[in-house]
Amino acid sequence: MKLKEFKKITGTLKCDTGLHIGGSAEQIEIGGVDLPIIKHPVTGEPFIPGSSLKGKMRSQMEKKLGKFSSDGKPCGCGQPDCLVCKVFGPHMNPRHNLGSTRILVRDASFNEKTKEEYEKLAKEKGLSYIEKKTENLVLRTTGTAKDPRSQERVPSGAEFDIEIVVQIYETDNENNLIDFVKEGLRQVQSTYLGGFGSRGSGKVSFHDMKLNGTPFSL
């Protein structure tokens, strides 16, 4: 199987509500928030791991096509006609002949406009760009709040540069692959990214989308 070419999908991911993509426990500072977001270890700048965007695209496409195992695990069928396995990689299936996973989703950083706003707030006003949201669990019996938990979010309006590389093999139907990836992005747009989607976080939209530099709309 020969690799024919790479196609690059680029664009802007805009947060239409606050976005929470959880950071690892090691990043929790003493006296910090209960639920921090993932940040660059050196700059402290929030970013969207490529694995988060790719994982959400995958799970949505699996739901749309009914492609997941009976116990709810990701699709690992490895069948030549399964675009989930071809595009995202067959889950836990080392014996397949699909070639390499067709998409690479890069980690997404703030675009220039958002980076400027982020730095301006920090440097000029000593404020954090990151939103801290507190949620209470209200006890049904007494109506009182219990265990407030603080949660970090990238604020609405923040924009990230995204990049997805699609590897096209000679045997691939290129249009089918690209359409599948676009549908994955539309699915993310129709649902949410990151955590707490059912409670209002993670609504995102894609703008200025380009395929190898040529604009397209989702």
Q: Are strands 3-15 and 103-105 parallel, antiparallel or unpaired?
A: unpaired
Contact by Cβ (8 Å): 57, 170: no
**Least distance CB 66 / Zn ion (angstroms):** 11
CA dist., res. 45 & res. 36, Å (int): 12
**Least distance CB 75 / Zn ion (angstroms):** 4
Q: What is the DSSP string of 86-111?
A: HHH--TT-----S-S-SEEE--BEE-
**Least distance CB 92 / Zn ion (angstroms):** 11
- Of the pair 77, 168, the CB lying nearest Zn ion is at 77
Q: What residues have CB less than 8 Å from 31, skipping those under 6 apart?
A: none
**Least distance CB 80 / Zn ion (angstroms):** 10
- Of the pair 85, 193, the CB lying nearest Zn ion is at 85
- Of the pair 75, 162, the CB lying nearest Zn ion is at 75
Q: Where are the alpha helices (DSSP H) in the chain?
A: 50-65, 83-88, 112-125, 174-190
**Least distance CB 166 / Zn ion (angstroms):** 18
Contacting residues toward Zn ion, per CB under 5 A: 75, 77, 82, 84-85
**Mind spelling out the 3-state secondary structure of 67-83?**
CECCCCCECCCCCCCCH
- Of the pair 77, 178, the CB lying nearest Zn ion is at 77
